[in-house]
Amino acid sequence: MEPDFPTKYIIEWFARYIKNRDLIIKNIVDIRKLGNKLEIENKDGTIHVYLAHPWPTDLSKTIKDMKEGEIGIIVYNIKDNFDGLVKGWDELISHDVIIYFINPFSQLEKKWIIRPKIHSKISDPSTLKQGLMSMYMMVTPTTRKEIESLTN
């Protein structure tokens, strides 16, 4: 099934981000776009798969449904996705996954990244939501309606 335009856009943006991040190290052999997935093949033969789920209804369910080699999720930096992170936190910390929250149209930072399993080990549970909110606000929050209008 062909992904919708917001999904295609987030995959294209993330592929450019990954390529730019690899300019010096030159570890990437190939980048393949497969539906809502982006496969990154490295020189050592490892393949990392990132799932583009612009509007996941439940991040913890997305994590549970991930397959071997799928190590990351790419979502837009919208309030519903942030709320899904907070709501599913207890489930998310039991998986080794990385989540990219992006707003390619932000005037400042365009992404923030979190690894819940690692973050849970170094953060204070009493200030967790406040800390996550600080990260969320570093990238201009947007809305699904705005993203859909800008990517269509």
* Residue 74 contacts residue 51 (beta carbons within 8 Å): yes
Residue 94, CA distances (Å) to 64, 103, 110, 123 in order: 10, 27, 27, 15
Q: Which tokens go with 32?
A: 């393949």
Residue partners of 37: CB distance under 8 A and separation at least 6: 49, 50, 51, 52, 70
Q: What is the pLDDT of residues 9-45, one digit of tens each?
A: 999 999 999 999 999 999 999 999 999 999 999 999 9
* pTM summary value: 0.94
Cα–Cα distance for residue pair 73/8, rounded to 1 Å: 14
Domain residue extents for the chain: 5-146
